[in-house]
């Protein structure tokens, strides 16, 4: 029965409950709990797991956004420097052309 329960928890994507129930079964602590205490333990484990995954996802998205912004900044800076260099050469050409006349 416990294997089928673990399998169902995994298929329903209750990963927190899955790991908590599995570790409880391995350590033999299920006998120490009453039914409502075991349920509370499993629900707390699932809640914590979902909150942790949400935080990890948020950090991952933030890192991606930072990398994208850094890439965009680099592109814009390159364009500005290229345009500035081009303008500087034009000014130098104008100044040297006016001296030769």
Question: Is pLDDT larger for residue 101 or for residue 71?
Answer: 71
Q: With helix as H, strand as E and coil as C, how does the chain read?
A: CHHHHHHHHHHCCCHHHHHHHHHHHHHCHHHHCCHHHHHHHHHHHHHHHHHHHHHHHHHHHHHHHHHHHHHHHHHHHHHHHHHHHHHHHHHHHHHHHHHHC
For the whole prediction, is pTM greater than 0.75?
no
68-100 tens-digit pLDDT? 999 999 898 888 888 887 787 777 777 777 665
2-53 tens-digit pLDDT? 899 999 999 999 999 999 999 988 988 778 889 999 999 999 999 999 999 9
């Amino acid at each position: 029965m416990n294997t089928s329960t673990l399998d169902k928890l995994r298929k329903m994507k209750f990963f927190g409950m899955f790991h908590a129930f599995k570790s409880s079964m391995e350590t033999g602590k299920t006998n120490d709990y009453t039914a409502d205490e075991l349920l509370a333990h499993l629900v707390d484990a699932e809640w914590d797991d979902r909150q942790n995954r949400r935080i990890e996802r948020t950090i991952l998205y933030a890192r991606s956004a930072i990398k994208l912004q850094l890439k965009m900044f680099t592109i814009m800076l390159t364009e500005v420097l290229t345009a500035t260099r081009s303008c500087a050469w034009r000014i130098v050409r104008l100044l040297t052309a006016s001296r030769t006349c």
